[in-house]
Amino acid sequence: MSLQDYKSSEKNRDVAYVFPQNFHVVQLNVGGHLYTTALSTLRKHPDSKLAELFSGQPKLRSDAQGRYFIDRDGSHFGAILEFLRSEQLPKKNLPEVHKEAVHYNIKPLIKRLEEAPQLFGELVGRQQFLSRVPHYKENIEVLIRIARAEAIAARHSTIIICVLRTEEDLGFYDNAINSLEADKESVVTFGPWKAAPLVTDLLDCVKMDIESQGYRVSIQPHVMEKSFLSRSYDYFYELTFTWW
């Protein structure tokens, strides 16, 4: 029985076949994207997930044409193969390729991508800053949840956010929130943080991370009525979601 016939007959159950050392060409179906490569390419980095999948007894099933099937989006798998073949980095879609490199645990590619300017700024600069902002990710989720709840029969959803840059600002929080005429229960508060970026930088991050999920948002200062008897606070901003 030929190798192709054997693989086809076993496609609907675990394959007991062991890769021979001289079997060089591998046909792949990665989430519907078809690739052809050498077995040695997939095994180039022994501690990677790809090397594990294609060493010893195969861990994958085959599709109807006998190609090994990887149940994952294969849009950027070509960039993975290109690096394994030539160590060339992709020129676009670096965040997406980085995600795939992490999934397949290709450490040299992960390192090279994280050193590229596009990802270096994101991982070393922005993400390190946001890790110093208490509950940042949770607050982004809360903002989206509130906005969606207020979207019924509306074109816009507007949420008040409070940004406290320093511990000193935090000390004025109670007075500031009590001076707010808007619904105090739905105010989402960011900060304080111990890092160089300013309030405007934090607001840029909020806008960027919400829009990366497909929403359209804008941010502007929340204008409070000034009173001669009380202090005005510039901690508040209006985050507006536009639905249509």
Q: Are residues 90 and 153 in the same domain?
A: no
**Looking at the domain assignment, is residue 45 inside a domain?**
yes
- Are the C-beta atoms of 68 and 60 separated by less than 8 Å? yes
Residue 208 has pLDDT above 90, yes or no: yes
**Looking at the domain assignment, is residue 1 inside a domain?**
no
pLDDT in tens, 4-13: 554 544 444 4
Kindly state the average pLDDT of the residues 100-105. Answer: 97
List the domain range (segments joined by +) for residue 72: 25-115
Domain total of the chain: 2
What's the pTM? Answer: 0.73
Kindly state the average pLDDT of the residues 121-149. Answer: 96
**Looking at the domain assignment, is residue 79 inside a domain?**
yes
Angle between helical axes of 107-115 and 94-104 (0-180°, round to 10) = 150
pLDDT above 90 as % of the chain = 76
**Looking at the domain assignment, is residue 125 inside a domain?**
no
Q: How far apart are CA 6 and CA 8, in angstroms?
A: 5
Residue 1 confidence (pLDDT): 46
Residue 143 has pLDDT above 80, yes or no: yes
Average pLDDT, the chain: 89
**Looking at the domain assignment, is residue 193 inside a domain?**
yes
Residue 227 has pLDDT above 70, yes or no: no
Q: Are residues 88 and 164 in the same domain?
A: no
Q: Are residues 98 and 151 in the same domain?
A: no
50, 84, 115 - which closes a domain: 115
Q: Are residues 111 and 147 in the same domain?
A: no
**Looking at the domain assignment, is residue 186 inside a domain?**
yes
**Looking at the domain assignment, is residue 122 inside a domain?**
no
Kindly state the average pLDDT of the residues 120-132. Answer: 94
Q: Are residues 99 and 166 in the same domain?
A: no
CATH number at residue 36: 3.30.710.10
Q: Are residues 224 and 161 in the same domain?
A: yes
Q: Are residues 86 and 163 in the same domain?
A: no
Q: Are residues 93 and 157 in the same domain?
A: no
Q: Are residues 62 and 160 in the same domain?
A: no
Q: Are residues 230 and 144 in the same domain?
A: yes
**Looking at the domain assignment, is residue 9 inside a domain?**
no
